[in-house]
Structure 1
Amino acid sequence: MPAIIGPVSITSVGGGVVTFGDTFYVSPKSAAKTASGSGSLNTGNFVNTNNGISGTNTLDPDLFDQNIAANA
């Protein structure tokens, strides 16, 4: 269904997607990967994480997880 959009002023978009009207297909324009250890990305006021010996495997055998070269 068509949409009529009036004047719009977008100051900043950080890591989000802005769409107006009908959107058939939205594809990512960036991709990132983070490797972190057990309990390292916990957030909150009172976080209590009890970990024994922990290791993070950063080996990536498939090389490419999300290709974005064709999404220009």
Structure 2
Amino acid sequence: MPSLIVGPVTISSVAADGIVNFGDALVINPKSASKSYAGAGGGNTGNFLQTGTLISATNTLDTDAFDSNVAGNA
């Protein structure tokens, strides 16, 4: 659906792999893929954050040869 933007738009930052889209888009493909591992509470952000984790284990075993194939998205 077309978009009508009334007023100022401020985009303070777009990462190297980021996408800014206004209006119609049939497909938006990623140009890169990455993987990260974090234990319980490892990705929490905020002010005055309190977490309580008794036991945490992260399984990093990955038997896949390809997780996300983005080679054709040039």
For normalisation by structure 1, the TM-score amounts to 0.68
How far apart in 1 are the matches of 2:20 and 2:35?
Answer: 23
Which residue in the other structure is 2:29 paired with? 27
Normalising by structure 2, report the TM-score. 0.66
Instruction: Quote how far apart the aligned CAs of 1:39 are.
Output: 0.7
Q: Deviations over 1:15-71 (max 9, x none)?
A: 421346643321100111110111111111121111112111111122322100111
The residue that corresponds to 1:69 in the other structure is 71
| Structure 2: gaps of 5 or more residues | 3-12
Provide the aligned length of Structure 1 versus Structure 2: 63
RMSD: 2.3
Pairing partner for 1:38 from 20, 37, 40: 40
Q: 1:58 to 1:23 in 2, by over 3 A?
A: same
User: Could you tell me the percent identity over the aligned residues?
Assistant: 57
